[in-house]
Amino acid sequence: MKQIAVLTSGGDAPGMNAAIRAIVRRAVSEGLRVLGVQNGYAGLMANTMIPLGSREVSGILQRGGTMLGSARSEEFKFVEGRQRALANLAERGVDALVVIGGNGSQTGSLALAEMGFPVVGVASTIDNDLLGTDVTIGTDSAINVAVEAIDRLKVTAESHGRGFVVETMGRDSGYVALMAGIAGGAELVSIPEQELSPEQIVADLGAAFERGKRHALVVVAEGVRCRATDIASYCEQHHSQVGFSLRVTILGHVQRGSVPTAADRLLGSRLGSGAIDALLAGRSGVLVGLTNDAVSLTDIHEVGGKKKQVDAGLLSLARTMAL
Ligand code: F6P
């Protein structure tokens, strides 16, 4: 193996740059050359790649987003698109590929690995919905953004005696909402894995008011059926039972754009370096993640298209802490 390529795919996540930097510097330490593929799988098919040395990845550790650009590619899902990508990799003399991304992106890496090209994936998505790792790059930063928003909303909620419904990202996973809800001291958390009905939310907010609470925070994951605006309008219709009047804040992409936390810089560095170790050991079709605080490799067959469950103990903790 003389030259590898790296790409970032799917939603950007704070800490992706740390992973790119680690991949490049660990590869350089082994005498390997590195090409950075621009804009994910789209760039692989369009043959847009740039040489990356240690100096090209200077100053990116503390930056959110991805210096390589990212994209979601429909075309890559078809064999013709993947064949074009493989032809470009062959033309450039690339011996192996590292894919930094989440679930959909790792389905793409598995498809390439199954076509015989050496590929390893690095677990990265703010959603933390990937099996094969305890945590993904970007999740800690996204949770911190949500908690900071909740802290600020609590200030104004307290001043006005109001409630707030905060909607977090997470696609169909409630992990970010649940963790932000616990760390932010939310009264209620509604997530796809355990969605609260509007009737339940009215009853629980009313009970919180009865217990003497004069402001309230409801954290809702974007993947639920009854979204933040629906909850607020239902509660408004049942104001006399709720006690609080509610406002809505949807965090959306604000959660993706933060400066990476130290935890995400460390995770990106460890997993990026681990990806090169995996390639040097001749591995392919594996996801590099973190399990019990050690870098781990998991067959992507066990990861692709599957969803990690949230810990029931954390759901129970969120409820108890809201008393
Ligand atoms: O997977 C990361 C994520 O931010 C999800 O939480 C969200 O549902 C989705 O990406 C948004 O995708 P896009 O940036 O393409 O709108």
Instruction: Tell whether 128 and 153 lie within a shared domain.
Output: no
CB atoms within 10 A of CB 236: 11
For residue 318, tell me if it sits in a domain.
Answer: no
For residue 312, tell me if it sits in a domain.
Answer: no
Instruction: Tell whether 17 and 63 lie within a shared domain.
Output: yes
Instruction: Tell whether 173 and 100 lie within a shared domain.
Output: no
Give the chain's radius of gyration (CA, Å): 22
Residue ending a domain, among 240, 256, 272, is: 256
For residue 247, tell me if it sits in a domain.
Answer: yes
Residue-range definition of the domain harbouring residue 172: 140-256
Structural domains counted in the chain:
2
Active site residue 127: yes
Contact 123, 133 (CB under 8 A): yes
Instruction: Tell whether 130 and 220 lie within a shared domain.
Output: no
Residues in a beta bridge with 76: none
Instruction: Tell whether 126 and 274 lie within a shared domain.
Output: yes
Nearest-angstrom CA–CA distance, 284 and 181? 38
Centre of ligand 1 to C-alpha 39, Å, is 16
Nearest-angstrom CA–CA distance, 28 and 54? 7
Instruction: Tell whether 68 and 162 lie within a shared domain.
Output: no
For residue 56, tell me if it sits in a domain.
Answer: yes
pLDDT at 305: 78
Centre of ligand 1 to C-alpha 275, Å, is 24
For residue 310, tell me if it sits in a domain.
Answer: no
Q: Is 170 in the pocket of ligand 1 (CB under 6 A)?
A: yes
pLDDT at 272: 98
Instruction: Tell whether 191 and 100 lie within a shared domain.
Output: no
Instruction: Tell whether 206 and 74 lie within a shared domain.
Output: no
Q: Candidates 39, 73, 105, 127: which one to mutate for ligand 1, based on the most atoms within 8 Å of Cβ?
A: 127
Instruction: Tell whether 123 and 152 lie within a shared domain.
Output: no
Q: Is 125 in the pocket of ligand 1 (CB under 6 A)?
A: yes
Contact 251, 85 (CB under 8 A): no
pLDDT at 266: 98
Instruction: Tell whether 106 and 37 lie within a shared domain.
Output: yes
Instruction: Tell whether 154 and 123 lie within a shared domain.
Output: no
Centre of ligand 1 to C-alpha 170, Å, is 7
Centre of ligand 1 to C-alpha 53, Å, is 30
Task: Say what the pTM is.
Answer: 0.97
Q: Is 126 in the pocket of ligand 1 (CB under 6 A)?
A: yes
Amino acid (one-letter) located at 254: V
Instruction: Tell whether 30 and 169 lie within a shared domain.
Output: no
For residue 322, tell me if it sits in a domain.
Answer: no
CATH number for the domain harbouring residue 75: 3.40.50.450
Which numbered atom of ligand 1 lies nearest the CA of 253?
4
CATH number for the domain harbouring residue 246: 3.40.50.460
Query: Token pair for residue 309?
Result: 């469950």
For residue 9, tell me if it sits in a domain.
Answer: yes
For residue 176, tell me if it sits in a domain.
Answer: yes
Measured by CA distance, the residue closest to atom 3 of ligand 1 is 11
pLDDT at 304: 80
pLDDT tens for the chain, 323 residues: list them: 999 999 999 999 999 999 999 999 999 999 999 999 999 999 999 999 999 999 999 999 999 999 999 999 999 999 999 999 999 999 999 999 999 999 999 999 999 999 999 999 999 999 999 999 999 999 999 999 999 999 999 999 999 999 999 999 999 999 999 999 999 999 999 999 999 999 999 999 999 999 999 999 999 999 999 999 999 999 999 999 999 999 999 999 999 999 999 999 999 999 999 999 999 999 999 999 999 999 999 999 999 878 899 999 999 999 999 99
